[in-house]
Structure 1
Amino acid sequence: MIERTCFSKLLSALQTVPVVALLGSRQVGKTTLALAIETALEKTATYLDLELDSDFNKLTDPESYLSRFSGELLIIDEVQRKPDLFRILRGLVDIRRRAGEPAGQFLLLGSASRDLLQQSSESLAGRIRYLELSPFTVIEIQQADPLASNLEKLWFRGGFPDSYLAPSEAESWHWRSDFISTYVERDIPLMGPQIPATKLRRFWTMLAHYHGQQVILSELGRSLEVSHTTARNYLDTLTDFYMVRQIQPWSGNTKKRLVKSPKIYLRDSGLLHRLLNISEFDTLLGNPILGASWEGFVIENIILTIDDRWQFSYYRSSGQAEIDLVLETPLHEVWAIEVKRGAAPKPKRGFYEAAQDIGADKKFVVYSGTERYPLPNEVEVIGLIEFLSLISNP
């Protein structure tokens, strides 16, 4: 059993607020985590899966049905399928609050982003807390089995539980193939956007080739024979369903002309490798995507480790001065992060120039090794696991 770092946050939230929304992509382990929390809470729980017609029909008259579970935790899975539910939940929460039942009333599980659940933020303001469950992270795998080989396995297979824990590389590959097909053919259309499956898959594959770069949507649109606006809709859809991360450019003050387009990363490295048809780890090591793949893997784990008191962005000037990741800490320090795969990493001149541009308080090169040592100009080389530990305890 790999312990999820989100477990303690979820337990604390359910003891504090009436409604908790646990969001994340399909097959990431939300239901497993939700059912495990029932025992920890020592509270009776009822589970509804709105993808089942039998459970969905129970909410034909949601107010009458949900009123029966006072004093219990009601877990509602795939809640985005019934957005009108949030208005009802607000009234029930307020009734129960007056009756002295303030916390742990509803646990909502959703496969769409918070932005797609605007009804909940509007109707349940002050009554709901949002948490995200990601695929397995480096910290979770390291705590479960601290072997260096597991880090490479996580990078290559990705963090979806069924992919990472598959009994063989072939089974992991087939699972990722099935996941991608099901997502574009069934899951995304079921959850709202009506996008042709073949075009969405082609677009997703094209994005894999842009991994770690600024994407030019007009070029992608022409390749797909769709408009720039439609290509933007495809990108936002994959972002809303936790498949893609868009990192915005640094917005601080500088006299230099900066690149203003977001950088695009596929959030799960295993899905990236499947879309690029990289089926063997040795093949990845010889592929031109190697550096960008490692960079995306490191950056995703960093972003998943920090909390919402931190800000993240990237920096790139028109003169090619660049920082892979800029972190602004809760203490208002600015950290410049360069990601390197090699055993003897050295940042390029553009990194030093960019760090000076943004007034970086600290400068790190995060790499695949384990030693920590200084470089000139107050730059520190640090391993990924040690860096994640550093930012989780700032």
Structure 2
Amino acid sequence: MIPRDAKVTALELARGFPIVSFTGPRQSGKTTLARALFGDHAYVSLEDPEQREFATADPKGFLARFKAGLILDEVQRAPELFSWLQGVVDSERSMGRFVLTGSQEFGLRAGITQSLAGRVGLVHLLPLSLSELAGAGVVAGSLDMAMLQGGYPPIHDREVPPRLWFPNYVNTYLERDVPQLLEVRNREQFRRFVRLCAAHTGQLVNLSAIGADCGISHVTAREWLSVLEASYLVVRVPPYFRNFGKRLVKRPKLYFVDVGLAAWLLGIRDPETLNTHPLRGALFETLVVSEMLKERFNGGEPAELYFWRDHVGHEVDLVWERQGELHAMEIKSGATFAPDWLDGIDRWRRVTGGEEVKSTLVYGGDEVFVRDGVEVRSWRGVGQ
């Protein structure tokens, strides 16, 4: 197992909450991490039909078997358990007794909100970060190879080639997860929708255009995109709305959570193709945004990442606030620094009216330095 940065956060939560919940996409390492950290707990997967039937028909009897702690895998498959879990943890007040995992946000979030509010410490576990891969000595030697591989653990700790792993992952998702969340009559049409979303990664969300290209309505496109979000395959980054006297765009931007999956969906199979692909810049931006999300989630922080763009197209790729300090990040896929890359940050500084802004530029090269007060950071250290 490749060590995970979320370990510290998970153990801290287990000391202060009776339930710890790991959420994230399938195959992101939730179960592996839960079993590694809570090895003295019993383990039950609710993907097992017999266990699921027992938990659904007799939740009280099901839970009574496990006095010393329990890891419940894919707990959203038996929503009847949530109310009974509330009764158990309220009566015993034992911290870290139950560990839940789930790969569908809708069911898990609904159960926690309705029955377990205030009793659950949440860990959002995304695929492996570049820093985790580097720590294990398995990070790719080149940027293009790193983008092709993405961060799903099986690609790295089982050494399964991306060209073989991703098609099986997508087929499993379409066969198992999608039918649990909505009825899709035309599976190939939904597959096309997923590919079209990959073609829009790093861009403003335009559901009408995606729906038209896919032959579905705007309403259906919105519903299908929500399913991709609930499965932790994509994320929408909202615009930063603080009023600086400018007309701003109101649509969010769409990003795949794993750049390797997005590249595979686009038909990119080798570094040479990726290096000259017209969407290489968008894929690099996807990589960086994903790394920033992982850094925040692994540390137990909410996402709260934004972008800024005015009505004429002036943009800063990422904006966030931390401890009262405003941060801005520009993302450039080129390997050689160009001075005009700082134009967006310079414009942002003027827009903010001289407010103190910590500025960073992440690029596709290897050097690290400071230029005109901006930290220029290599892609290798983006989430550190």
Fold in common (TM above 0.5): yes
Q: Which residue of 1 aligns with 2:12?
A: 12
Pair 1:58-2:54 in alignment: yes
Are the counterparts in 2 of residues 2 and 140 from structure 1 also a CA contact under 8 Å?
yes
Distance between the aligned counterparts of 1:207 and 1:387, measured in 2?
A: 24
Q: Which residue of 1 aligns with 2:167?
A: 177
| Residues 213-256 of structure 1, C-alpha deviations (whole Å, 9 max, x = no match) | 01211122222232211111111110111000100000111211
Distance verdict in 2 for CA 1:14–1:152, change over 3 Å: farther
Q: Which residue of 1 aligns with 2:374?
A: 379
Pair 1:357-2:351 in alignment: yes
Q: Which residue of 1 aligns with 2:311?
A: 318
Are the counterparts in 2 of residues 158 and 164 from structure 1 also a CA contact under 8 Å?
no
Are the counterparts in 2 of residues 50 and 77 from structure 1 also a CA contact under 8 Å?
yes
Are the counterparts in 1 of residues 2 and 157 from structure 2 also a CA contact under 8 Å?
no
Q: Which residue of 1 aligns with 2:220?
A: 230
- Give structure 1 stretches of 5+ with no counterpart: 390-394
Distance between the aligned counterparts of 1:115 and 1:61, measured in 2?
A: 19
Q: Please give the residue correspondences for 1:1-394 in structure 2 after superposition, counting only pairs within 5 Å.
A: 1-39=1-39, 43=40, 45-59=41-55, 60-70=57-67, 72-97=68-93, 102-113=94-105, 117-145=109-137, 149=141, 152-167=144-159, 171-190=161-180, 192-196=181-185, 197-306=187-296, 307-308=300-301, 311-329=304-322, 331-346=323-338, 347=341, 349-358=343-352, 359=355, 361-376=357-372, 378-389=373-384
How far has the Cα of 1:388 moved from its partner? 2.7
Are the counterparts in 1 of residues 44 and 51 from structure 2 also a CA contact under 8 Å?
yes
Greater RCO (CA < 8 Å, at least 6 residues apart): 2
Q: Which moved more, 1:23-32 or 1:278-287?
A: 23-32
How far has the Cα of 1:280 moved from its partner? 0.4
How far has the Cα of 1:9 moved from its partner? 2.0
Distance between the aligned counterparts of 2:292 and 2:314, measured in 1?
A: 22
| Residues 123-160 of structure 1, C-alpha deviations (whole Å, 9 max, x = no match) | 11221111111111111011111766176543221111
Are the counterparts in 2 of residues 323 and 355 from structure 1 also a CA contact under 8 Å?
no
Distance between the aligned counterparts of 1:18 and 1:148, measured in 2?
A: 39
Distance between the aligned counterparts of 1:340 and 1:248, measured in 2?
A: 20
Distance between the aligned counterparts of 2:256 and 2:10, measured in 1?
A: 26
Q: What SS class does the counterpart of residue 304 from structure 1 fall into?
A: helix
Distance verdict in 2 for CA 1:161–1:148, change over 3 Å: closer
Distance verdict in 2 for CA 1:296–1:355, change over 3 Å: farther
- Give structure 2 stretches of 5+ with no counterpart: none
How far has the Cα of 1:119 moved from its partner? 2.2
Q: What SS class does the counterpart of residue 363 from structure 1 fall into?
A: strand
Are the counterparts in 2 of residues 336 and 360 from structure 1 also a CA contact under 8 Å?
no
TM-score, normalised with respect to structure 1 = 0.89
| Residues 326-358 of structure 1, C-alpha deviations (whole Å, 9 max, x = no match) | 1211x2111110011223233163442234223
Are the counterparts in 2 of residues 27 and 160 from structure 1 also a CA contact under 8 Å?
yes
Q: What SS class does the counterpart of residue 48 from structure 1 fall into?
A: strand
How far has the Cα of 1:48 moved from its partner? 1.2
Q: Which residue of 2 aligns with 1:392?
A: none
Residue identity matched to 1:342: G
Distance between the aligned counterparts of 2:148 and 2:140, measured in 1?
A: 13
Distance between the aligned counterparts of 1:115 and 1:52, measured in 2?
A: 17
TM-score, normalised with respect to structure 2 = 0.91
Distance verdict in 2 for CA 1:299–1:355, change over 3 Å: farther
Cα RMSD between the aligned structures? 2.0
| Residues 10-48 of structure 1, C-alpha deviations (whole Å, 9 max, x = no match) | 223223211111111111221211221233xxx3x2211
| Residues 171-211 of structure 1, C-alpha deviations (whole Å, 9 max, x = no match) | 32111011112212222213x22224222211111111111
How far has the Cα of 1:7 moved from its partner? 2.0
Distance between the aligned counterparts of 1:150 and 1:349, measured in 2?
A: 27
How far has the Cα of 1:92 moved from its partner? 1.0
How far has the Cα of 1:275 moved from its partner? 0.6
Distance between the aligned counterparts of 1:380 and 1:36, measured in 2?
A: 37
Distance verdict in 2 for CA 1:387–1:356, change over 3 Å: farther
Distance between the aligned counterparts of 2:177 and 2:140, measured in 1?
A: 35
Distance between the aligned counterparts of 2:74 and 2:143, measured in 1?
A: 31
Q: Which moved more, 1:156-165 or 1:316-325?
A: 156-165
Are the counterparts in 2 of residues 310 and 327 from structure 1 also a CA contact under 8 Å?
no
Are the counterparts in 1 of residues 329 and 360 from structure 2 also a CA contact under 8 Å?
yes
How far has the Cα of 1:164 moved from its partner? 3.2
